[in-house]
A = this chain, B = another copy of it.
Amino acid sequence: MSNSTATPPQSFGVLLFPGFALLDVCGPLEMLNGLSSAVPITISLIALDSLEPVSTMVPVDSSSDETKENVEQQQPRTFQRLCPTHTLDTCPPLDVLVIPGGFGVPNAAKDERVLKFVAESKAQTIITICNGAGILATTGLLDGKRATTNKWWFKEVTSVRHQVNWVHKARWVHDGRFWTSSGISSGMDVVAAYIRETYGEKIGELIPDILEYTPELDSDNDPFVDAWKKYVPSNQTK
Contacts and interface: CB of A to CB of B under 8 A. Distances in A.
Contact of A29 (B22, B183, B209): B22
Interface in A106-142: 130
27 contacts: A21-B30, A22-B30, A23-B30, A23-B211, A26-B30, A26-B80, A32-B78, A33-B56, A33-B78, A33-B79, A36-B76, A37-B74, A37-B76, A37-B77, A40-B77, A41-B77, A43-B80, A83-B83, A151-B212, A185-B211, A185-B213, A186-B212, A206-B231, A209-B224, A209-B231, A212-B224, A214-B223
Copies of this chain, complex-wide, total 2
Contacts of A74: 37
A105 to B, nearest CB: 15
B186 A76 contact: no
Contacts of A130: 212
Contact of A212 (B34, B82, B150): B150
A81 B53 CA distance: 9
Contacts of A212: 130, 150-152, 182-186, 224, 227
Contact of A30 (B150, B184, B210, B231): B184
A42 interface: yes
A47 to B, nearest CB: 13
Given A26-B23, A26-B26, A41 B78 contact: yes
A45 interface: yes
A69 to B, nearest CB: 15
B33 A26 contact: no
Interface string A151-183: 110000000000000000000000000000011
Contacts of A83: 53, 80-83
